[in-house]
Structures are given as structure tokens and as C-alpha cells.
Structure 1
């Protein structure tokens, strides 16, 4: 019964987000009923375990796209799932947990410098200690021919983990409490940050493109576009981002019209 409740809650949550009309989620979505905790532990790969990870990814998506606080009911769940990674899937999930920590920090009133430094350290350690399997099989830049670089990766977990890493970088850069507050120093720093965030966005989208049009990594790419898509001012770049969003809708029925409309207004298309 607990398993059925967990899956039912996730499906209900997913349906609510998919049915939203004007945005990726409505204000009431953040108040959704929490998933029931299982009465006994389940083996890795059982449906409730998979459902809880899927729910975590969905909540991360909604929080980032809406720039809203991460639901507090998931705090204990995230804490329970921390452990030494064994395989690529574990490493990807660990980076997802780091991302949820960063989301909590960025979209809350907590802007403690020490907390920020700890989050930055976790992200750096993950990047420096991840397995060699996370190294791209092939990379190539075509600045004169196409907007996105070619990035080929070993598997879906590897692709997801790297996308979470680059999303984390983007959030940390844009919410750094150590940034200069005013003056020329701030202007120079913000310009450099914008360049880096645009590059991270291209990498996240390129990872999705490299995994193929049917890859769920396109949904994660939507998160990056929602965050900083407004920074892209070249038509070729804008068209490429819209193609990524369109593929997420065409292949998965994922709601991206709100993101598209917002970007088009910002870009002066509407």
C-alpha cells in the first residue's frame, strides 16, 4: 500500500505540473501532499526508490524554473539518500543532491558566506573526484558553423550528472554573496559571470543534443535555458535554445510555452 501511495503521489504531482497553463507550475503546486515514506527500506532499483528520485528531479526542475524555494518536505529524504557513490548512477544522484542543496540556498533568505563556501566545496570535490567514465568520449567546437559544441558521453547517468554540475555552477555564480555590490568591479564581474553562465548553458544543451532527441536530458536543458536564456542576444543562439525547448515538448509533452513566451518578450520578438 505504501508503494502505491508513493507512486500515486508522484504521478499526481507530475500531472499537476504538466497541466499548468500559464507557467510550469501554479502557486498551489508547492503545497502538494508529500510522498508517503515507506515503512521499511527498499532495495535500490525498486519502484518506490525510483519514484522518490523522480520526484526529487521534478521538484528541482520546478524550483529552478520558477526560482522558488525547494519544498521542505524533501529535506529528510535528501539526507537519507546521501552515501558513498558506487557507480555512475550513484555519482549522478549525488550531484543531484548537491544541486538541491544549492537550490535551497539560492532561493531562500539564507545568504551566509560560510554556507555558500561549503556548497562550492561540495561541487568542486564532486567535479575533481568523479570517475573517469564522466570524461567525454568526444568533444568538438564549431563556433563558425553551429552554436552548440559536440559532446558525446558514455551513458544517461553520466550526462545527467554533468548537467546537474553545470546547473549548480550557474546557480552558485549568480548567487555568490561575495560579489561586489556596486561600482566598476561589480560590472566587470557580472559580465564575466554572464559569459560563463552562457557557456554552461551551451554545455548543458550540447549534452542533451549529444544523447539524442529522445533523451530526458532535454528536460534538464530546459532548466538552464529558463535560468539564463535571456542573456543570449544572437539570433542563431536564440533559435537553438528554442529548438531545445521545442524538442522537450514534442518528444515528452513537456510544458515549455511559458519559457518560450518569456524569452521571446525579453528578446524583443513579441
Structure 2
């Protein structure tokens, strides 16, 4: 792991950064991690990883796996997640509006937060079709191939869009995921023109999703609302006509709230 501390930063606590790197080692892990795996993922020596894991165990953030092979994160991580969502003013303001939107559309409604290369789900109100991982808060998707990401990029200056596309991992998630930067720019242009984006089978086969960006008080996009449904039940243009006005009204309510 590269040293994140700027040169001559006297306030930066390197030991704290190493502890955080242990927690971050679990990002996208497929299961419990051994000490060797934690050390490799965090860029630490095995002895440093052992000390940090021991400390995090004492604090309750890491626990041995049920079979005794490796470690996993424990409940206090969820306490921090709860506090983040509880204290985030956008999530607080959006929650009742999203509930009302879900009642009206009767399809999945998500709130995702813009984080550069990814859109991170902060609220998920699923339909009966969703899989387990698709319902988890904190799951993220690439900005470049999601309806919310296209809507967000439509509100960014072109140099920022270019920078996102230049740094993006454009590997496809489905056979229909757009990987050509110009094709993605075309979708961004459509979103800018329409005030919303429409994505077909970009993340999941059989899924249609409409996204509308949420700006902050300065007009910069910080999040997006997604409405997602099944292509077996919706014609794309019918879906657009039904969902776009409702999503746009929800965003107006959030921004003015």
C-alpha cells in the first residue's frame, strides 16, 4: 500500500493509517481472511498485521471466523455505518421521499452517492426480484456503466468526465455493458439533454434502470436516484415515460427540502 501521507505532514498518524488499511483489506473479500492475506492486501508485514488485527479484535471490529480459519469484520463496523447514514444530511432528507417514490413506482428504488469512479448505494428499497448482494447498502457499481453515474457525469464539466473515463476500468459486467468511451459519452449527452439517463442491462442482464442526479447547493452532482425494473415487464420508452417525471420530482423535493 502506498504511503498516503503528504510529505512533512506532522499531523498524519501513520499507525492509525495502518489500522485502517487492515479494515480496508476486507473490501470485496470473498470470505474470511488469513493473517497472510490481510498483510498482503494491506501492504504490511505479517508481524505488523498480527499486532493490528489483535488490537482490532480487542476493540471488537474484527473477530475470528466461525471455523477458526481467518478473520472477518464484526458488528461495530455496522454501528459506524449506521452512524454515517444517520448523520448524513442528504440521506436523512432523502429517506422519506424515497419511501414515497417506492410506493408510487412499485419497483426498486436506490440512492447512490457519487465517489469518483464508483456510485455507492446508501439506500436500497428492493423489489421481489433482487438477489442478496444487490440489496446491500454499501455495494458499489462503476460510475461509467450505471444510470445514476451517467446522470451524474452529465452535470460535470467535460474535463472531469474525461478524467473519469481515462481512469476507469471499462471491463464489461454484462454482454451489453458499454466499454467504448465514445458510446458512454453519447449516453452522458443524452442524459444532459433529457435530464435523466436510461441504462439497459449495464449491470445485470434483464434490468432496465433510470437515473436522475442530485446536485448540492452549488449545483454539483453528489448523488443519484435510480429506479430499476425488469425488461420482461417494461418496454423502455414506457418505463421512461412513467418513471422519469416521478424521479425528477423526487430529486426536486430532496434539493428543496
TM-score, normalised relative to structure 1: 0.27
Structure number with higher helix proportion: 1
Structure number with higher strand proportion: 2
TM-score, normalised relative to structure 2: 0.28
Greater C-alpha radius of gyration: 2
